[in-house]
Every structure is written in structure tokens, then in C-alpha cells.
Amino acid sequence: MGYKVAVVGATGNVGREIFQTMMERDFPADEVVALASHRSVGHEVSYGDDVTLKCQDLETYDFKGTDIVLSSPGAAVSAKFAPLAAAAGAVVIDNTSHFRMDPNVPLVVPEVNPEAIAGYTKSGIIANPNCSTIQMLVAMKPLHDLAKIKRVVVATYQSVSGGGKAAMDELFNQTKGIFVNQSPESNRKIFTKQIAFNVIPHIDSFMDDGQTKEEWKMVVETAKVLDPDIKVSATCVRVPVFIGHGEMINLEFENALDVDDAREALREAPGVVVIDHRQDEGYVTPAECAGEDAVFVSRIRKDPSVKHGLNFWCVADNLRKGAALNAVQIAEILARDYLSK
Ligand code: NAP
């Protein structure tokens, strides 16, 4: 017998990718339910190539009998419905930022801290980290095991799909508009500046100390998932790319680390693919990682400006490993090791 799974935010970027990922990985579901806002009731979403599901209203849905909820309706909506779903007996795996730092909610990247899933019993909720944190930690984990990371300096190049469907539409419409002499302002609702043919060093709101909330998430989520002793300095930048986040990562280690040993550890690490040839085309860009599951690592090289330093470039599909795949992997472990069916 399989599980009854509800996907909340079923019409969104992440929700649609969750259906695709579940189908591709043959998730053991007997029944799958699509939930979104009242605006989408009756709208059809695809579950694989052959099945379509009609969206139901999250507001009126009864979670009794639902085993697993894969959730991405935005933080405010999750804050309200997730505890209700958990109280009805479901385990909620939430993609939004709302529960990530709650001490009663495990924050999980399966390649890094799968053992934390056991903590789901405290609240019935498991959180997925931010997309930028997930790909960074998948790549950092094998190197931390090897030589103990002291500090990371990361600059992100984040695609617009991280901001949802409306953000993708804005890049598309603004780009098209510029070619027919429309002002970018006439096609600007989501981003704080023009995104077409531009980059914006600002994601999420500003905090009192000058960093943005997106940057802060990378700091505190690294501490919760990997190691509270690692110092993180992050700068998060939005770029005019539809899917796939890039990150330039600079690491400083406690112990000596040979570049070839680092490359080998990354090659063997689960979820990582190393493509690192020091020549034209010898690295991966966001356009190539869209639709892929792996975190790709390229441009691995020593940082000679500190005693034990390493630089590398890393890209991943933010809707896949940065959201849907990570959530489905957690659900797979939950189904296999913790829930009985
Ligand atoms: P999106 O494309 O804008 O989709 C939002 C989804 O939430 C839609 O299905 C929408 O349904 C639903 N929703 C909105 N208000 C609702 C309500 N009141 N009740 C029920 N459903 C409601 O956004 P997304 O990119 O999928 O992201 C969703 C969440 O995941 C966000 O919190 C985001 O931060 C997080 N996340 C995103 C990424 C990423 O890379 N995109 C990565 C990690 C985490 P309607 O169509 O009916 O409005």
C-alpha cells in the first residue's frame, strides 16, 4: 500500500516540479491531491505525462487521512495551514522560510543531515532550506568532512524562478518590451529594479545590519544543517536567468587540503557532479543545469591568499535540488524509514 500525498502550491513553480519529480522517481503514492488557492480550483495540473489532477482549495481541504504534505504556497500561507495539517496527522515537508529556524522543526538536506528527519515527531513539520543554501551545503559537506571548513564567502547569481511564476513573467515581458521600445518600468511589479539586461544585488528584505534576509538565511541555515562553527559571509544577487542558480564559493579550512583531494571528494559525494576542465566549455552554467538533479561543481582551484583556501563555482536547478527534489528525497526517507504503510 502507498501513501496519500497532498501537494500544496500545486500550480506554482515548485509545486509543478514536485509532481514531475515524484513521477520520475516513482514515489510510492496511492493517491495524490493538488491544492492551491481558491483562484485555482478546478484548474488542471500534470502529474507525469498521463495523469492530470484538478486543483482543490487549500482553505477547505480536510487533511485527515493524508500521510505526507509537500508544501510551497509561500511563508504566510504555510504558517497558517501547516500546523493544522500536522494536527490532522500528516507530516508536512515545507519549502517556505517560515519554519526553518524553529527549534522543533528539522531543517534537512538529505546528503548532509538525513538523521535530522527523526525530529519530525516534535511538530509534524520538516523544513527544506533555502535554494541557495541547499546547493552550497551539498558541495561543502564532503570538503568539511575532509579538512573542516572555518569560513565561507559566497556570492550568488540567482535565477528569477526563485521568485515564483510572476517573477519569470516579469523577466520575459520586460525583455520583450525593451526590444519594442517599451520602458522597463511599464513591465516592473516584482523586482525592485529592472531585471532584464541587469543584475540586482538585493533579494528579500533588508535587515538592520545591512545584509538582506536571503543572505541571513544562508548564514543561519548553514549553522543549523551543517555546523554552527562555520562562519558565512554571503552576497545574494538576482540575475536575468530563468532557471538555475550559480554560486561562487570561497572556503577557508582549518587543515591543509590538496586541490586534487578536494576534487576527488567532490566527485565521490552524493548529489554532486564535477565538470572541471581548464579550457573553453570546461564548466557548467545555469542554462545547462535546468531540469537536472545534480549540484554541478566547476572551476575548482586553490585560493593562495589564505593558508588553506579553495575556490569553486557551483550551479544547480533551484526548482529541483533547490526545492522539489530535496523535498521529495526527504519524503522518500520518511516513507522508507519512519512511516509504516
Ligand atoms: P509561485 O510560482 O508563485 O507559486 C505559488 C503557489 O502558492 C501557487 O500554487 C499558488 O496558488 C499558491 N498559493 C498562493 N497563495 C495561496 C493561498 N492563499 N492558498 C493556497 N495556495 C496559495 O511560487 P514558487 O516559486 O512555487 O515558490 C513557492 C514557495 O516555495 C515560496 O515560499 C518560495 O520561497 C519557496 N521556494 C521557492 C524556491 C524556488 O526556487 N522557486 C526554492 C525554495 C523555496 P495559486 O496559483 O492558486 O495562486
CATH number reported for the structural domain that contains residue 144 in this entry: 3.30.360.10
Residue range 130-143: average pLDDT? 98
Answer yes or no: do 150 and 94 share one domain: no
Nearest ligand 1 atom to alpha carbon 36? 21
- Test site for ligand 1: of 7, 8, 11, 14, most ligand atoms within 8 A of the Cβ: 14
Answer yes or no: do 215 and 86 share one domain: no
Q: Is the CB of 37 under 6 A from ligand 1?
A: yes
Alpha-carbon span 189 to 224, nearest angstrom? 34
Q: Is the CB of 132 under 6 A from ligand 1?
A: no
Q: Residue 167 above 90 pLDDT?
A: yes
Residue range 8-17: average pLDDT? 97
Q: Which of 101, 48, 136, 70 is nearest to 322 (CA)?
A: 136
Answer yes or no: do 220 and 114 share one domain: no
Q: Is the CB of 96 under 6 A from ligand 1?
A: yes
> What pTM, to 2 d.p., does this model score?
0.97
Q: Whose CA is nearest to atom 34 of ligand 1?
A: 96
Q: Whose CA is nearest to atom 3 of ligand 1?
A: 164
List the Cα angle 27/30/32 in 5-degree steps: 80
pLDDT of residue 265: 98
pLDDT of residue 49: 86
Answer yes or no: do 47 and 81 share one domain: yes
- Residues of the domain holding 162: 132-318
Q: Whose CA is nearest to atom 25 of ligand 1?
A: 164
List the Cα angle 82/218/22 in 5-degree steps: 50
Q: Residue 137 above 90 pLDDT?
A: yes
The CATH number covering residue 75 comes to: 3.40.50.720
* Percent of the chain surpassing pLDDT 90: 98
Q: What is the pLDDT of residues 170-213, one digit of tens each?
A: 999 999 999 999 999 999 999 999 999 999 999 999 999 999 99
Answer yes or no: do 289 and 302 share one domain: yes
Answer yes or no: do 198 and 230 share one domain: yes
Q: Is the CB of 107 under 6 A from ligand 1?
A: no
Q: Is the CB of 12 under 6 A from ligand 1?
A: yes
Q: Residue 98 above 80 pLDDT?
A: yes
Q: What is the pLDDT of residues 58-70, one digit of tens each?
A: 999 999 999 999 9
Q: What is the pLDDT of residues 218-247, one digit of tens each?
A: 999 999 999 999 999 999 999 999 999 999
Answer yes or no: do 67 and 171 share one domain: no
pLDDT of residue 48: 86
Residue range 296-303: average pLDDT? 98
Nearest ligand 1 atom to alpha carbon 166? 3
> How many domains, the chain?
2
Going 77 to 97 to 334 to 329, the CA torsion angle's sign is positive
Active-site annotation, residues: 131, 245
Q: Residue 139 above 90 pLDDT?
A: yes
Alpha-carbon span 266 to 312, nearest angstrom? 11
* Percent of the chain surpassing pLDDT 70: 100
Answer yes or no: do 100 and 194 share one domain: no
Q: Is the CB of 319 under 6 A from ligand 1?
A: yes
Answer yes or no: do 118 and 173 share one domain: no
Distance of CA 292 to the CA centre of its chain: 13
Answer yes or no: do 147 and 266 share one domain: yes
Q: Residue 341 above 80 pLDDT?
A: no
Answer yes or no: do 312 and 328 share one domain: no
Answer yes or no: do 164 and 84 share one domain: no
